[in-house]
Each structure stands twice: as C-alpha cells, then as structure tokens.
Amino acid sequence: MVSWIISNPFQAVACACAAVAAVLALWFLIRRPTLDRATKLLLLAGIGVLPLATATTGNVAGFEATKARRFCASCHVMTPYGDDSGDPRSATLAARHARNELFGEDNCYGCHADYGMFGTVVTKLGGMRHVYEYVLHYRTMPLEEARRTIHIRTPFQNATCMHCHSTAGPSWNAIPEHASLLERVRTGELSCASAGCHGPAHPFSKPAPPAVPMAPGGAPTADVAP
C-alpha cells in the first residue's frame, strides 16, 4: 500500500480527496444538518473543492495510466502484443524496445505516440478511436480472427523512430546499410520496418514475408509496409 502511494502520488491525492469528500457528502445525507453558513462551507468542500481536486489529479493519473502497456493490453485483442513486449526472451523489435529503460512499461505509447506540438492530443484522440472500434467491432471477436484482421491504421512513420534514432549519429551511420539508405529513410520512402531492414515490430501478427529481392548494395528493392 505504501509503495503504491509513493509510486502514484497523484492517485494517492485523488483517492484522499475523494474519501474526505465522500465522508462530507454522507454526513450531509445522513445527519441532515440545518443549512447554515458552516454547513454551506463544508458542502463547498465536499461537493466542490475536493471533487474538483479529485478530478484534476485523477485526470493526470488517468492520462499516465493510458500510457502503460497493461492499459493497452487490457483489450483482449492486444494481449499478444502486450505479452510479446513483456517477454524477456522475445527478440521482436517491440520487445527489444520494451527492455530499454527509456520505454519500459510505456513502450506501446513510446512508439505509437505522435510527437508533434499537439502530439499528445492527437494520440489521445486516436486512442478514443481505438476504444470506439473495439467496442463496436472487436469486443467479441476471437483472438485468432482479430490477429489476422487488426492492422495499423496508417503506415508506421520513420519520424517516430527518428525521435530517438536521429540518423545523424556516427554509430548509426557507421552501419553501411544506414549510410547508403540515409535519404530514403529520412524522407520515409523506405520504412525502417521493411522486410529486409528491421522488419515489423510485431511479426507474429503478419503473414510470412515474401522473399525480397536484394539490390547489389544489400538494400531491399521494394518497400514492404510494416
């Protein structure tokens, strides 16, 4: 309990405010005091100030909770993705990123978030769409069918990878394939997740990749969507 409070201070504040507000509301309902100035002030705290504090800190805690992998994987169709990301033996791109402490338990959000000025808002709106789609179309769908059907709405953008892998670092450019494909990667013409490059982050959700003919320099000649 103590560790839960320490690790979630916003949740702790929200729960404490909610508890006091609930006590005040119950006191008013059960004891039925006269509506004098003291009662009005107590109700101002119980109906106004404390619930407002609960909502404010609860919003922060809620937004943080929506970044967690367990939140994404709480819809059954996402459990294979969550399980794979959390599997220490998995060698998929998603799992390897999840083992990076910069991503950790928030690795879904780390790779699927938009990073523009309004990135957080755009990402949350996209999340609302996910919930809408899940409730209306995928809630009762068997996992195997969902695995074949679900796909990323728009192709994964290299810009998201480049948020961390800037393509300007010497160690990145020391890899011959990176150096030779630099412009195609930066412009997004060639996806980082192409077959022949890093491949899809969640390969178990994709059909077996076709054989990709390789150019003399070792680069794939065709872009395959992630």
Specify the stretch interacting with other proteins by CB under 8 A; choose among 71-79, 105-113, 166-174, 195-203: 71-79
CB of 112 to other proteins, least distance (A): 15
Residue 129 vs 214, nearer CB to other proteins = 129
Our CB check for other proteins shows the closer of 48 and 155 to be 48
In angstroms, rounded to a whole number, what is the distance separating the alpha carbons of residues 221 and 140?
Answer: 40
Q: Quick check: 61 binds other proteins (CB under 8 A)?
A: yes
Of the candidates 96, 74, 75, 76, the residue with the CA atom closest to the CA atom of residue 85: 96
| Two structure tokens written together for 190 | 């060639």
Residue that the structure tokens 């294979």 belong to: 80
Is 128 or 168 the residue whose CB approaches other proteins more closely? 128
Residue position matching structure tokens 């990073």: 115
Question: 44, 48, 51, 45: which is closest to 13 by C-alpha?
Answer: 51
Radius of gyration of the chain (CA): 24
Which parts of this chain interact with other proteins (CB under 8 A)? 11, 14-15, 18, 21-22, 25-26, 28-29, 32, 35, 40, 43-44, 46-48, 51-52, 54-55, 58-59, 61-62, 65-66, 68, 70-71, 74-75, 128, 131, 134
